[in-house]
Amino acid sequence: MTTDLATDIMVSLRHATAGPHARLEQALGLLKGVPDRSRFIVFLERLYGFHSRLEPALLRQSACAAFFQPRQRLGLLESDLIALGCADSRLRALPHCAEAFGLVQSDAAATGIMYVLEGATLGGHVINRSLAGLPWMPAEGLRSLDPHGAETGAQWRAFGAFARDMQAQTGSEPILRGAEACFALLADWLRPAFRS
């Protein structure tokens, strides 16, 4: 048994990524001032290019694929962008983050990465609620930011159980490294969406 099993992986993940999360949230500044449509389009376009390369890699990891399969968000990102008025030709021409595929080297790394993706739904739930009623918002909201809706808490607990099982098999370190690497690459990739 490895010694790093003593601390709950969800506590360790939160601790390890609190700084990067705070910096990313601040740099994006999505809710500062009156949130405008064009800023959310750029944000979702960058997420689209990230998920397009990350999701196929997560689905290749044997222990994670079944858990991740219903949590894919690429289709939701695409339909949100279309609902926001993004033309099909523009969608097809969006850049993709090739390095995202290489982040996923193991089931443990994939678990750390899924922590980042699933955690983003907590903030996304808050964001989606605060955007409700704005004239440019699609009637059903931005589902790619808030894919679980009323189930957000339950889905987060389900992810916690999955991560703890993985921790019991691999220890904490490779899961933490996966989450840190994902935050670092995502923050770099999202730079065009930062508030200037």
Minimum CB–partner distance for residue 54 and ligand HEM (Å) = 12
Chain residue at closest Cβ approach to ligand HEM: 119
Written as one string, the DSSP assignment of 38-89 is HHHHHHHHHHHHHHHHHHHHHHTSTTTHHHHGGG--HHHHHHHHHHTT--HH
Structure tokens at 131: 């955007």
For ligand HEM, the closer CB: 88 or 95: 95
If one asks whether residue 27 binds ligand HEM (CB under 6 A), the answer comes out as: no
If one asks whether residue 39 binds ligand HEM (CB under 6 A), the answer comes out as: no
Residue 76 near residue 147, CB atoms below 8 Å: yes
Number of residues that bind ligand HEM (CB under 6 A): 17
Q: Which of 120, 131, 163, 175 binds ligand HEM (CB under 6 A)?
A: 120
Structure tokens at 107: 């089931």
If one asks whether residue 147 binds ligand HEM (CB under 6 A), the answer comes out as: no
Minimum CB–partner distance for residue 119 and ligand HEM (Å) = 2
Report the distance separating Cα 158 and Cα 85, nearest Å.
34
Q: Which of 5, 22, 31, 98 binds ligand HEM (CB under 6 A)?
A: 31
If one asks whether residue 115 binds ligand HEM (CB under 6 A), the answer comes out as: yes
Minimum CB–partner distance for residue 57 and ligand HEM (Å) = 17
Reported as half-sphere exposure (CB side, CA atoms, 13 A), residue 14 has a value of: 8
Using CA atoms of 131, 135, 139, 141 in order, give the dihedral in degrees to the nearest 10.
-20
Residue 130 near residue 31, CB atoms below 8 Å: yes
Reported as half-sphere exposure (CB side, CA atoms, 13 A), residue 187 has a value of: 16
Minimum CB–partner distance for residue 89 and ligand HEM (Å) = 26
- List the one residue out of 193, 112, 92, 195 whose CA is nearest residue 145: 193
Q: Which of 7, 19, 22, 25 binds ligand HEM (CB under 6 A)?
A: 25
For ligand HEM, the closer CB: 88 or 192: 192
Q: Which residues bind ligand HEM (CB under 6 A)?
A: 13-14, 21, 24-25, 28, 30-31, 115-116, 119-120, 122-123, 126-127, 186
